[in-house]
Amino acid sequence: MYQHILIPIDGSDLSQIGLTQGLALARALQARVTIMTVLEPFHIPSSEGVRLASVQQQFQRQARERAQGWLDAAAARAQQAGIPCDSHVHDEGQPYAAIVEYAAQAGCDLIAMCSHGRSGMAAMVLGSQTQKVLAKSKIPVLVYR
pLDDT score recorded for residue 117: 60
Partners of 72 in the beta sheet? none
E strands present in the chain: 4-8, 32-38, 85-90, 110-114, 141-144
- The pLDDT of residue 126 is 47
At 77 the pLDDT is: 97
- Indicate the domain borders of the chain: 1-8+19-29+67-89, 91-109+120-139
Neighbours of 107 (CB within 10 A): 11
Q: What is the pTM of this model?
A: 0.87
Tens of pLDDT along the chain (145 residues) come to 899 999 999 999 989 999 999 999 999 999 999 999 999 777 666 555 556 677 778 888 899 999 999 999 999 999 999 999 999 999 878 999 999 999 999 999 999 999 866 555 555 544 588 999 999 999 999 999 8
pLDDT for position 5: 98
Furthest-apart CA atoms within the chain: distance in Å:
54
- 35 phi/psi in degrees, rounded to 5: -105, 130
Is residue 94 a contact partner of residue 80, using CB atoms and an 8 Å limit? no
